[in-house]
Structure 1
Amino acid sequence: MTAPARGQGRAEDTAAADASASSAPSGVSRRGLLGLALGAGAAGLAIGAGAGAATAAAIGRAQEAEAAASAYEFFGAHQAGITTPVQDHLHFASFDMMARTDRDDLVSLLQDWTYAAARMTKGLDVSATGAVGGSPEAPPDDTGEAQGLAASGLTITFGFGPTLFENEEGDRYGIAAQRPAQLQKLPAFLGDDLDPAHSGGDLCIQACADDPQVAVHAIRNLSRIAFGRARLRWSQLGFGRTSRTTAAQSTPRNLFGFKDGTANILGTDDAALDESVWVAASDDPSWMAGGSYLVARKIAMLVETWDRVRLTEQEAIIGRDKGPGAPLSGGDEFTEPDFDAKAKDGTPAIPVTSHVRLAHPDLNGGIRILRRGYNFVDGNNELGRLDAGLFFLSYQRSPEQFVTLQRSLSTDAMNEYIRHVGSGIWAVPPGAAPGSYVGASLF
């Protein structure tokens, strides 16, 4: 079902707002309205383009586009934006709670964010009055840059960082005892060159959509709503998904030109999701049941150096053919790698330092994670080189899954061409029930 475009049919939008209000906290709090009135943000847009021949792959992409134009349900057992078909664009944002805020401030912020997110994912403005329906003598509730745009498959996912539960100031919100034991700052990994200004955060929001302006609009307005309670710590724009979560999606390529995410967990694989992604009711703490743990890593890719590497060496580093994406042991893209296969010279067909080999579940005790990463290009650096790379996002039932895999990659030949420059971990609570808000189980 295609979502209504924002700003079209104000009466219909208002009726939809009433329906939305029945399945979300009742409106925005007074402080939330203050944020709408006084906040400000910067929006950027990119224009996506795509076309394809009349092939099976093109049909699959057309199906993806149709799904992206529709609205995904915000409420449910799990938060949207995890197993949802990966959209084309990302705006990720990390927030810190403001000094001298209390438990009521945190709860009201989550309620206000839930109310606004439930509307925006339906293709509506953040409130019933929206961008143009309020008093002309007051700042509008909605920034308005998404007027006339459909929901574009927008999903908004919220997470809680370790410092939300306890930081140097102590237990600010009376929730330290509810902190998951596994929710700890990630350990240092070989090759880390992390920028503290682009790492961590009390709260995070992942906004994904197939229209970049819709994703930016979501973060911009949620930042305004947070005024006086939380401030933006850092954010990241992403484009060109680097994984897939449905069988219908084609496998994308990363900025090194290789297919990425071929063996990713799919959103229809309930057994794998239960085993590797969703926190179980038997796990501790109980309020996280149905949730997951999110790891974000900003990985700079030294693309100019990589571009001077001969093709055979690139393929040996990755462990796959650069064209069709087949493992170097043979077959097609979806053929399982054969790590016992030998090359003509008797060496392993898939080198022992290749990324595919070191990251494979067979060599990591069966560990799997669900990836939702994106490419990024943030202009150029002071040396005139592209500031580009992978904004890696993964969901897992336990952070230990990511830690184990990352340590396995310490001998990855690809490490010569990448640098981990940003990092964060968040507990992603289960989805909100209609009439409630994200994170209610924590309180």
Structure 2
Amino acid sequence: MDFAIPADLQAYLDELDAFIEAEIKPLEQADDNIRFFDHRREHARTDWDNQGLPRREWEELLQEVRRRADKAGHWRFSAPRKYGGRDGSNLWMAVIREHFARKGLGLHNDLQNEHSIVGNFPFVAMFETFGTEEQKQEFILGGFAQDPKLARRVAFGLTEPHHGSDATHMETCAVRETRDGIQGWRIDGEKMWITGMHVATHCAMFARTGGADGDARGITCFLVPNPTEGLEIEEWMWTFNMPTDHPRLSVNKVWVPDSAILGEEGKGLALAQSFVHQNRIRQAASSLGAAQYCVDESVRYARERKPFGEELARNQAIQFPLVELATQCEMLRLLIFKTAWEMDNMPHEEIEKTISDKVSMCNYWANRLVCQAADRAMQVHGGIGYSRHKPFEHIFRHHRRYRITEGAEEIQMRKVAAYLFGYAGPKKGRFA
């Protein structure tokens, strides 16, 4: 049993660090781009007069970073080689994401909008597994394209205003309808929190096409072009951490042809579940890295700060809370890396059947831990920690969302309970 970081992975981390120092840090410091990360960050990123959407300058800067990272061969790392990637594994991605987040805020990795020089592409796996050849060519290659004419950006249209975690009671529905001699579907309903619709070329819109309320089957995924007639952004939801790209939208008599279906008719929820494990383990690693950053910064500050003529770190009230956080970081790191390694060593369809509970453990605990660590960092730093001149308030406000999104922690704990008590997973039927 070997717990060491593989030598080739460590070499790649060193390569990424060198790229950040040579290409990304100078860009971060140029033209007052640091305003997107210092105390001005929320205002610099947010176009308050344009419904709170991200400022154009902010998104253009991130696009330039992705262009440089792609040119250097890093951005597509996690994608299959046939699409220009490196077949990056879950373990490598977990280690990389923790490594990046532990560096703190910066252009190399800004999770507020899922930006990183090593990208995460859940839609690639979804299209690769469920898409037609035409859809793979259009949406996978288009997802990497920088040319606006070829680019494809897909938003994930699952959540509804009245049905957050429970997608089985989806009210958005689709019925068969032929227009101009072409067979297709008319979609009606509402969606909410559909992130990225301001730049999306398509929305992966989930709608009930059969079955009854509460049935997992009978929900279908449609690739709806954006904009399209009948698809309206009703409002942009302002959030704890701005800017926003999370709208509430209405769908009124939107029509798409049969070719817009992704996957099989009626099996859309299985499709939606196909990539949550990848997303959750990588996001857990990012939260862990951010938590560790808060601990590291608090330790450094406590050694430097000398109230009453003695290091702050001498006080047990400072030491013990940080000891507990550091201990949890160490234990969680082992579980995340072990779970990611197990994911890499089994068929994709086996993950849900055998270790989905471990993925949920990693994710919900990491998201809770980073909020605790950010709060403690504020306390250790005192007034300056509460100010926006330190990054802890931003870390707290951003990562607090992940205790709700990506599967609320209660939903993930319910998954763990189902495996623990034998209602699902390997123990199913053991207590019958």
The TM-score range, normalised by the shorter chain, is: under 0.3
TM-score normalised to structure 1 length: 0.27
TM-score normalised to structure 2 length: 0.28
